[in-house]
Amino acid sequence: MSELILPKGYKALLGRNDTEQGIKEIKEFFQTNLATGLKLRRITGPLFVQRGLGINDDLSGVERPVSFPIKDLGDTRAEVVHSLAKWKRLMLADQQVPVGYGIYTDMNAIRADEELDNLHSLYVDQWDWERSINREDRTIGYLKKTVKNIYYAMLRTEFLICERFPQLRPSLPEKVHFIHAEELRQRFPELAPKEREHQICKEYGAVFIIGIGGPLGDGMPHDLRAPDYDDWTSINEEGTAGLNGDLLLWYDTLDRSVEISSMGIRVDKEALLRQLKATGKEDRLGLYFHQRLMDGTLPLSIGGGIGQSRLCMMYLKKAHIGEIQASIWPAEMRKQCSAAGIPLI
């Protein structure tokens, strides 16, 4: 269990019924705005995928997927998804989604190795989206334009929910601030990466950190990324490495930054080979997903995930993600939250 934050004097602004209504309205309104802004159509996503195809997202490479044997497939094992980062790219190809358009789905995952706290649960729900692009779109400019479109959908949703519940007050700034992870490191060299995130978010309110996954000037990455979906090694038009990043928001209720989305332009053949070599994962080239990418049957794309429960938590000014979603929490956490006026579902 990670450190639990118990805001002093916390009192939920919405009761259980209003909270549930707020969650419904946020999810319905935001996904419609997201789909319109990015030209996405909804598809149905899987809860699990077959092991050994290279389709499941291995996150930072150390998290163990929940798995089970399939009786009618000779006990072939299936894995509950961590996210649909690679599956979506397969769907762009198989459904022949044209350039400039994309797909999105409700992704529901179980992450059994998650360290539980105010923001992290065993259960993960997010909007996973992916969009086909041209080679000339593989730029920082295109990435920033896409981030801004997503952020505008967040602003419109915040306005809606604050109109619906006047006791809530808007807190998002008008614009999102962009900074590369190396520039952030140089600005706060004495701080650990997460502390840098808190500092920059407190200053700007909404920040997109570019270049997550590759080594920085001190030889260490800002954060870990799997080598086979986001491109974190290509040198972009600004002269820095990486075509991906994280969108973070400052959250006064917990007095910290919150990562709301991880996204990026996806690897092409060259970036895949480079990143697999850098991480010692070249054996993955024999897997189904990686063979499809190398033989040119997958489109170039950009994509990411947006946390549903986290977004609802922030709009509704909740202190714990367990006020938004039903999950399993340690008995001691439930006891502490109850004493602090935080009603976990």
Q: Is 218 an active-site residue?
A: no
Averaged confidence pLDDT in the chain = 95
Catalytic, out of 31, 121, 126, 308: 126
Instruction: List Cα–Cα distances, 334 to 44, 45, 340, in angstroms.
Output: 34, 32, 10
SS3 26: helix
Question: For the domain that residue 275 is a member of, what is the CATH number?
Answer: 3.30.930.10
* Number of domains making up the chain: 1
6 belongs to a structural domain: no
7 belongs to a structural domain: no
Q: Is 126 an active-site residue?
A: yes
Catalytic, out of 50, 259, 291, 336: 259
Residue entry with tokens 């397969």 = 90
Task: Identify the pLDDT of residue 57.
Answer: 77
5 belongs to a structural domain: no
Q: Is 57 an active-site residue?
A: yes
pLDDT tens-digit readout, 30-63: 999 999 999 999 999 999 999 988 888 776 666 7
pLDDT tens-digit readout, 118-158: 999 999 999 999 999 999 999 999 999 999 999 999 999 99
Nearest one of 62, 68, 67 to 225, comparing CA atoms = 62
Catalytic, out of 246, 257, 274, 308: 246
Catalytic, out of 89, 111, 138, 256: 111
Q: Is 259 an active-site residue?
A: yes
Task: Identify the pLDDT of residue 1.
Answer: 55
Region for residue 74 given its phi and psi (left: phi exceeds 0; alpha: psi -120 to 50; beta: otherwise): left
Could you give the dihedral angle defined by the CA atoms of residues 134, 139, 142 and 146, in that order, rounded to the nearest 10 degrees? Answer: 100
Task: Identify the pLDDT of residue 61.
Answer: 62
141 belongs to a structural domain: yes
Q: Is 115 an active-site residue?
A: no
242 belongs to a structural domain: yes
265 belongs to a structural domain: yes
pLDDT tens-digit readout, 245-285: 999 999 999 999 999 999 999 999 999 999 999 999 999 99
Catalytic, out of 31, 121, 257, 262: 262
345 belongs to a structural domain: no
Instruction: List Cα–Cα distances, 163 to 4, 167, 170, 334, in angstroms.
Output: 31, 9, 10, 32
The DSSP bridge partners found for residue 208 are 178, 247
Q: Which domain holds residue 51?
A: 16-340
Q: Is 131 an active-site residue?
A: no
10 belongs to a structural domain: no
- How far is the C-alpha of 226 from the C-alpha of 275, rounded, in Å? 9
Give the DSSP H/E element, type plus range, for residue 247: strand 244-251
- How far is the C-alpha of 21 from the C-alpha of 39, rounded, in Å? 27
Question: Would the pTM count as exceeding 0.85?
Answer: yes
Catalytic, out of 57, 58, 228, 323: 57
| C-alpha radius of gyration, the chain, whole number | 20
pLDDT tens-digit readout, 13-36: 999 999 999 999 999 999 999 999
Task: Identify the pLDDT of residue 56.
Answer: 85
pLDDT tens-digit readout, 286-334: 999 999 999 999 999 999 999 999 999 999 999 999 999 999 999 999 9
DSSP per position, 74-131: TTEEEEE-S--TTHHHHHHHHTTPPTT-EEEEEEEEE-TTPPPSSS--SEEEEEEEEE
What is the band of 83 on the pLDDT scale with cuts at 50, 70, 90? confident
